[in-house]
């Protein structure tokens, strides 16, 4: 890595913060998605169906 | 001779159906994510290994490679929300509701990041972490508006009813934002000494522009990916609430 | 009497009958003028310099406190539902209520401004300018408040969110309102600030009844 100069700390903190925040965002989104998937499949296992999926 | 008379639905109407939308757009997720990762890899390599320091700013110009994209996103996402809001109010397109809701937290996060990176850039450049200049202040106000919109979504129990109301507020905000920007600039020039150094300004040689543009695209694709994911999750969440309600009805009747 | 004026008269009559609310707001307004010197010290020069900002913050907070009343009482007792099916369009209803609200809350504040001016050591010129800027700027606050109130009227405890929504949008009003009184060091820009304030008031008063009407119609259901 090139020498980051006298203010290296600020640069590192900035990128660290962005990485943390973006990582948290991605993790949250994926986590939410998985949680809802799980609850959906739990319900479908119980046999609850949408009105449009009911047969006859 | 028979003519095929099945009505052809336009793609617009077809994606209004949540299931259709999800089915249609899921294949885009993986490619979007891959492109995002690649762009980030390229951008970071450029930012740290293949670009010079600015002759005036030194190495801190590298902060600009994350500051400018996040600031750009903070405004771009609001524009996307405003367009979705129009979709909700004018066409009542269900995907517009979902799009608005999924975008708000993303917008808030990137605006906060813009303030964070801007502040860290300001310290070595101007000497303080915060400066009440036109741009930073307007971004702060934008963050407050985002947070207000998120609070508004959460205050409603019925999310379908919430959508139209939030759309109205989003559009009122959209009209106001230029006014706010103008008033803050007016205020800042009154109270600031005339010689304020504006780091993100004029001449930028190609070697600095390249990482900037790559990072800009990287962040934008990141938003597209996260937004699409958020929309899918929101669609599933609504379906979940419907199913849970039906399960409760069945459980009650049994 | 047209529906429009009927609504104004009704709101005025109802508020004057119960009497308490407008006075409470004025009391709050004046109390800020009382409390601030305790917080920042009795130095008259300092107070005089901060006075335009303090006056506007006081007016701003008082208006924020009162804006929930714009639609909530009517929502709670069902009047809003009736008004939705009335002949007068909802935007006109909103405008009528905004006018009544301005008469009931902003005017008493403006009348109470001399008290604040005295407590904050304002000079005569500053005081006159403050009066004018409040006169011209409070309609904008009412208009923006109406948007916040209409958007949150169907939420049970929505009164807490409305100020949070309005605050960012009202920042230009604050900036130009204070700017119309004094603009700090440098050439006197208060005239242009006043004009810009008037422009904002006109725009917000013109547009917000439509937004508020739409929000009320969409919120119920």
pLDDT band, residue B53 (cuts 50/70/90): low
Residue B58 DSSP SS3: strand
Q: Do chains C and B touch (3 or more CB pairs under 8 A)?
A: yes
Instruction: Report the C-alpha gap between B200 and B221 in whole angstroms.
Output: 23
Interface test with B, best of A1, A4, A7, A30 (most B CBs within 10 A): A7
For chain C, say whether B175 makes contact (Cβ under 8 Å): yes
Q: What is the pLDDT of residues C196-214, one digit of tens each?
A: 999 999 999 999 999 999 9
pTM of the model as a whole: 0.87
**Residue B52 confidence (pLDDT) above 70:** no
* Cα angle: C118, vertex C31, C152; to 5 degrees: 130
Cα R_g (chain C), whole angstroms: 18
- Pick from C171, C208, C218: CB nearest B141: C171
What residues in B contact C52, CB-CB < 8 Å? none
Residue B71 DSSP SS3: helix
For chain B, say whether A23 makes contact (Cβ under 8 Å): no
How many alpha carbons lie under 13 Å from residue B6 in its C-beta half-sphere? 3
Burial letters for B210-232: b for 16+ Cβ neighbours within 10 Å, e otherwise? bbbbbbbbbbbbbbbbbbbbbbb
For chain C, say whether B186 makes contact (Cβ under 8 Å): yes
Instruction: Report the C-alpha gap between C67 and B98 in whole angstroms.
Output: 30
The closest alpha carbon to C190, from C175, C203, C204, belongs to C175
pLDDT band, residue B195 (cuts 50/70/90): very low
Q: What is the pLDDT of residues B121-139, one digit of tens each?
A: 888 777 778 878 788 889 9
The closest alpha carbon to A14, from B118, B43, B201, belongs to B118
Per-domain boundaries in chain B: 28-194+206-253
- Residues paired with residue B54 on neighbouring β-strands, in sequence order: B58
Which residue of C lies nearest to B183 if distances are taken between CA atoms? C172
Instruction: Report the C-alpha gap between C65 and C61 in whole angstroms.
Output: 6
Residue C151 tokens read as: 């958007």
Per-domain boundaries in chain C: 3-219
The closest alpha carbon to C197, from C213, C216, C180, C210, belongs to C180
Instruction: Report the C-alpha gap between C174 and C144 in whole angstroms.
Output: 12
- Residues paired with residue C111 on neighbouring β-strands, in sequence order: none
Provide the total of helices (H) and of strands (E) in chain B, helices listed first.
Answer: 7, 0
Interface test with B, best of C49, C90, C137, C172 (most B CBs within 10 A): C172
Interface test with B, best of A9, A11, A23, A36 (most B CBs within 10 A): A11
Q: Closest approach of chain B CAs to the CA of C17, in angstroms?
A: 32
For chain B, say whether A33 makes contact (Cβ under 8 Å): yes
- Pick from A7, A36, A50: CB nearest B58: A7
Flag whether the ipTM exceeds 0.85: yes
What residues in B contact A44, CB-CB < 8 Å? 243
Instruction: Report the C-alpha gap between C148 and C208 in whole angstroms.
Output: 10
Q: Output the pLDDT for position B51.
A: 66
Give me the residue label for tokens 């209803």: C93
Q: Where are the alpha helices (DSSP H) in chain C?
A: 3-18, 20-40, 44-66, 72-76, 79-84, 90-101, 107-119, 124-152, 161-179, 190-219
Q: What is the pLDDT of residues B161-187, one digit of tens each?
A: 889 999 999 999 999 899 988 888 888
- Residues paired with residue B58 on neighbouring β-strands, in sequence order: B54
Q: Do chains A and C touch (3 or more CB pairs under 8 A)?
A: no
What residues in A contact B121, CB-CB < 8 Å? 10, 14
The closest alpha carbon to B42, from B50, B54, B30, belongs to B50
Do the beta carbons of residue B185 and residue B134 sit within 8 Å? yes
- Pick from B59, B60, B243: CB nearest A50: B243
For chain A, say whether B245 makes contact (Cβ under 8 Å): no
Rounded mean pLDDT, A16-23:
89
What residues in C contact B144, CB-CB < 8 Å? 164, 167-168
Q: Which helix (H) or strand (E) holds B151?
A: helix B134-155
A52 secondary structure, DSSP code: G
Residue C103 DSSP SS3: helix
Task: Determine whether the interchain pair B113/A21 forms a contact, defined as Cβ–Cβ distance below 8 Å.
Answer: yes
């Amino acid at each position: 890595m090139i020498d980051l100069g006298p203010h290296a700390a600020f640069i590192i903190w900035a990128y660290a913060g962005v990485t943390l925040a973006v990582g948290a965002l991605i993790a949250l989104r994926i986590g939410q998605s998985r949680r809802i998937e799980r609850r959906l499949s739990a319900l479908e296992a119980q046999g609850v169906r949408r009105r449009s999926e009911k047969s006859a | 001779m028979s003519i095929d008379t099945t009505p052809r639905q336009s793609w617009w109407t077809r994606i209004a159906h949540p299931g259709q939308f999800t089915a249609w757009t899921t294949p885009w997720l993986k490619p979007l994510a891959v492109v995002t990762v690649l762009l980030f890899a390229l951008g970071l390599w450029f930012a740290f290994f293949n670009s010079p320091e600015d002759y005036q700013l030194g190495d801190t110009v590298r902060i600009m490679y994350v500051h400018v994209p996040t600031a750009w996103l903070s405004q771009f996402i609001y524009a996307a929300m405003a367009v979705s809001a129009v979709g909700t109010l004018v066409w009542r397109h269900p995907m517009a509701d979902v799009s608005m809701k999924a975008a708000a937290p993303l917008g808030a996060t990137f605006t906060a990041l813009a303030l964070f990176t801007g502040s860290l850039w300001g310290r070595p450049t101007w000497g303080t972490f915060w400066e009440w200049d036109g741009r930073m202040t307007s971004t702060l106000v934008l963050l407050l508006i985002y947070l207000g919109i998120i609070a508004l979504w959460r205050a409603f129990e019925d999310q379908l009813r919430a959508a139209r109301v939030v759309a109205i507020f989003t559009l009122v905000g959209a009209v106001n934002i230029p006014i706010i920007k103008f008033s803050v600039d007016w205020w800042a020039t009154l109270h600031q000494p005339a010689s304020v150094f504006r780091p993100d300004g004029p001449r930028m040689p190609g070697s600095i522009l390249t990482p900037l543009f790559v990072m800009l695209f990287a962040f934008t694709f990141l938003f597209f990916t996260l937004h699409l994911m958020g929309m899918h999750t929101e669609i599933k969440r609504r379906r979940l609430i419907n199913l849970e309600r039906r399960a409760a009805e069945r459980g009650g009747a049994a | 009497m047209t529906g429009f004026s009927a609504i104004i008269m009704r709101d005025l009559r109802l508020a004057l009958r119960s009497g308490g609310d407008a006075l409470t707001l004025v009391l709050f307004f004046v109390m800020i003028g009382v409390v601030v010197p305790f917080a920042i010290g009795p130095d008259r020069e300092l107070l005089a310099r901060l006075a335009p900002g303090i006056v506007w913050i006081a007016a701003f907070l008082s208006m924020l406190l009162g804006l929930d009343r714009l639609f909530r009482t009517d929502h709670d007792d069902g009047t809003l539902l009736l008004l939705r099916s009335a002949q007068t369009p909802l935007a006109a209803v909103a405008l009528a209520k905004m006018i009544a609200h301005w008469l009931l809350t902003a005017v008493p504040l403006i009348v109470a401004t001399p008290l604040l001016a005295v407590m904050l050591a304002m000079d005569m010129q500053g005081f006159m300018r403050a009066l004018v800027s409040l006169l011209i700027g409070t309609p904008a606050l009412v208009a923006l408040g109406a948007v916040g109130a209409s958007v949150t009227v169907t939420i049970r405890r929505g009164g807490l969110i409305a100020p949070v929504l309005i605050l960012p949008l009202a920042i230009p009003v604050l900036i130009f309102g204070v700017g119309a009184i004094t603009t700090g060091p440098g050439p006197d820009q208060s005239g242009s600030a006043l004009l810009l304030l008037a422009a904002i008031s006109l725009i917000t008063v013109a547009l917000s009844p439509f937004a508020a009407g739409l929000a009320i119609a969409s919120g119920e259901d």
